[in-house]
């Protein structure tokens, strides 16, 4: 199915008046806009704040609040294991969780291309609503714009998230001796999207790891684990996260490369396509930096969520920003930031 085909698998039909595709009038502020907002967005993303039908939402949050904003332009819109709608929610709430915050409120902005099938849009928005409710977050405000055919690639989504901070997590908390843990196999999302986009035949389906990591992070906090920082390895993958944290914290990191979990299908695909799995994006994994005395407990908790969670490295004193990857044969290589984009349009 293409990104703009009507979805025959939808449950009940959505009343979109005389339109079956996005038209410029949907962004004009008149009857078509009102119909789209009421019959699609508000129906799928329902919350008390949206029902106010106002220019914004009035909320009250006590204590420190974490805020994050992210844009999503994945192509194709639907891929094995996920879609743009759920991805936009998970990508945002995962960033909040990495700040030590419990996700609570979301605002959403859509840029729609003229000609997008409204059933395709409905499928994405319903997926977004389901993902938000599953993590306990409410969509409280939003906006829709329409651009001319050929200028929008279907749909772009931007999401802002707010959450109450339970314990502030920051790269500057990292200390010498901290143990590095990854919550599951890396590279699944980037390869799943690439394979779907290019229609590569591998013999084994690779599904995105798209999902929320907040449950794991907050379980660690509930259990009193000395978690110093958490980061989700999205664009640039695991290697990029390690380099960025090492630079911010002013430390070195030694990565035991054979310990990094990578599914065989992902490893084979990377070898075929000339990619390094350490730099391939995830959308449902988290990298944890934990005090050494709590490392085993943290790993055991992580394995409740994903059995392949693994201890992969350690923080050491040394040149600021140095990440040294050791292979199974005793060889070493320095991990650097990518000079370009290895896999475009994956999130």
pLDDT value at position 297?
A: 98
Using omega within 30 degrees of 0 as the cis cutoff, is the peptide bond preceding 76 cis? yes
171-334 in CATH: which number? 3.90.650.10
148 vs 24, which has greater pLDDT? 148
Domains of the chain by residue range: 24-165, 171-334
CATH 2.60.120.20 fits 24-165, yes or no: no
Single pTM value for the model? 0.88
- Give per-residue pLDDT as tens, 75-112: 999 999 999 999 999 999 999 999 999 999 999 999 99
Q: How far apart are CA 299 and CA 46, in angstroms?
A: 37
> What is the number of helices (H) and of strands (E) in the chain?
10, 13
Q: One fold for both 24-165 and 171-334?
A: no
Over residues 107-143, the pLDDT tens digits come to 999 999 999 999 999 999 999 999 999 999 999 999 9
Instruction: Kindly give the pairing relationship between strand 323-326 and strand 287-290.
Output: unpaired
Q: Taken in order 291, 293, 296, 301, is the CA torsion positive or negative?
A: negative
Structure tokens that stand for 84 in this block: 């743009």
Indicate the length of the chain as a whole number.
347
pLDDT in tens, 214-252: 999 999 999 999 999 999 999 899 999 999 999 999 999
- Please return the burial class of 147, using the count of CB atoms within 10 Å of its CB with bins 0-12, 13-18 and 19+: middle
Q: What is the DSSP string of 100-142?
A: TEEEEEEEEEEEEETT-BHHHHHHHHHHHHHHHHHTT-EEEEE
Strand segments, DSSP code E, in 178-329 are 179-182, 227-231, 252-256, 287-290, 310-316, 323-326
pLDDT of 62 reads: 83
- If you search the block for the tokens 């914004």, which residue do you land on? 56
pLDDT in tens, 174-199: 999 999 999 999 999 999 999 888 87
For the segment 3-43, what is each residue's pLDDT rounded down to a tens digit? 544 443 444 444 455 788 888 878 777 888 878 888 888 88
Cβ 257 vs Cβ 326: under 8 Å: yes
Question: Is the Cβ–Cβ distance between 89 and 157 less than 8 Å?
Answer: no
């Amino acid at each position: 199915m293409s990104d703009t085909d009507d979805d025959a698998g939808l449950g009940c039909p959505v009343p979109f008046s005389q339109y079956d595709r996005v038209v410029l009038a949907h962004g004009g502020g008149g009857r078509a806009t009102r119909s789209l907002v009421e019959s699609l967005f508000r129906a799928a993303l329902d919350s008390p704040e949206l029902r106010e039908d106002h220019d914004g939402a009035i909320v009250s949050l006590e204590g420190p609040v974490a805020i994050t904003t992210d844009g999503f332009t994945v192509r194709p819109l639907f891929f094995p294991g996920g879609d743009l709608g759920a991805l936009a929610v998970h990508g945002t709430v995962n960033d909040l969780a990495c700040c030590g915050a419990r996700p609570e409120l979301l605002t959403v902005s859509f840029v729609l291309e003229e000609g997008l099938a409204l059933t395709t849009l409905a499928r994405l928005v319903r997926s977004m609503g389901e993902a938000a409710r599953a993590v306990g977050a409410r969509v409280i405000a939003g906006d829709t714009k329409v651009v001319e055919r050929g200028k929008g690639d279907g749909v772009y989504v931007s999401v802002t998230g707010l959450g109450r901070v339970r314990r502030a997590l920051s790269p500057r908390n990292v200390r010498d001796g901290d143990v590095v843990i990854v919550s599951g196999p890396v590279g699944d999302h980037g390869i799943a999207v690439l394979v779907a986009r290019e229609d590569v035949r591998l013999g084994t389906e690779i599904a995105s790891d798209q999902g929320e990591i907040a449950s794991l992070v907050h379980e660690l906090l509930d259990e009193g684990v000395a978690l110093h920082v958490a980061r989700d390895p999205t664009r640039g993958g695991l290697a990029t996260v390690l380099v960025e944290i090492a630079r911010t914290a002013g430390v070195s990191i030694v990565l035991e490369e054979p310990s990094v979990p990578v599914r065989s299908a992902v490893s084979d695909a990377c070898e075929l396509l000339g990619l390094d799995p350490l730099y391939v994006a995830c959308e449902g994994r988290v990298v944890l930096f934990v005090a050494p005395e709590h490392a085993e407990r943290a790993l055991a908790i992580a394995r409740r969520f994903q059995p392949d969670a693994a201890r992969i490295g350690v923080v050491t004193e040394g040149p600021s920003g140095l990440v040294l990857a050791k292979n199974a044969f005793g060889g070493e290589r320095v991990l650097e930031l990518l000079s370009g984009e290895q896999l475009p349009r994956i999130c």
